Amino acid sequence: MGKPLFSLTLLASLTLASCSTILNNLPGIYTLDVQQGNMIDQSMIDQLRPNMSKRQVLYIMGSPMLTDAFHQNRWDYIYSSQPGGEPRMQKKISLLFKDDQVIGVQGDFKPSSLPVIKESTETTVDLPPRELEKTLWEKITGLFGIDADNIDDSTESSPVNSEPKINDSDTPMN
């Protein structure tokens, strides 16, 4: 009785341990693309030049993933991608600074020796001037044949809250 129970327990544990492997390899199962870190590509590295300031590097590369408290003059950029459950791909680049200027690049990318000419992808479109529609008040007054200009002129010439004056002779005395 002990051997069949032991065999069944061993078989069940091996099956459960391999569930993740079996489930990950089933066809039709969707797995997410996982991207972490700074997106790094060769065009960004090609824009880097010696003696660039830290501010210029921040504009091109973004903020570094790692900054070491002991090495303030070293910025590390790490990018990790795992598309659809495939093996993870990791790229790393380290920028070295001296007096807030780039002096070196280390890592998986190499800067090009040719100058980079980056074409602009922006386009300019000229729009015709927009004719503004009448406001709701202008539409309502237009139904009654009243111009908004006439209303403004008439309110200035005649006071709206005028009270009749009372003469002293009209009031009876007791």
Q: How is residue 92 written in tokens?
A: 């790393």
More confident residue, 118 or 41: 41
Percentage of the chain lying above the pLDDT 70 cut: 73
Rounded to the nearest integer, the mean pLDDT of the chain is 78
pLDDT tens-place string over residues 122-158: 888 888 887 778 888 888 888 888 775 655 555 554 4
At 116 the pLDDT is 65
At 164 the pLDDT is 54
Q: Residue 65 pLDDT more than 70? A: yes
At 23 the pLDDT is 63
Does residue 105 contact residue 111 with C-beta atoms inside 8 Å? yes
Buried/exposed 71-89: b ≥16 CB within 10 Å, e otherwise: eeebbbbbbeebeeeeeee
Mean pLDDT of 42-62: 89
Fold of 29-118: Beta-lactamase Inhibitory Protein; Chain:B, domain 1 (3.30.1450)
Instruction: Give residue 172's pLDDT band: very low, low, confident or very high (50, 70, 90).
Output: low
Distance CA 115, CA 118 (A): 10
Q: Please write down the HEC assignment for all residues of the chain.
A: CHHHHHHHHHHHHHHHHCHHHHHHCCCCCCCCCEEEECCCCHHHHHCCCCCCEHHHHHHHHCCCCEECCCCCCEEEEEEEEEHHHCCCEEEEEEEEEECCEEEEEEECCCCCCCCCCCCCCCCCCCCCCCCCCCCHHHHHHHHCCCCHHHHHHHHHHCCCCCCCCCCCCCCCCC
pTM score above 0.85: no
- Dihedral, CA of residue 42, residue 48, residue 54 and residue 57, to nearest 10: -40
In the chain, what are the domain boundaries? 29-118
Q: How is residue 5 written in tokens?
A: 């129970």
At 103 the pLDDT is 92
Q: Residue 37 pLDDT more than 60? A: yes
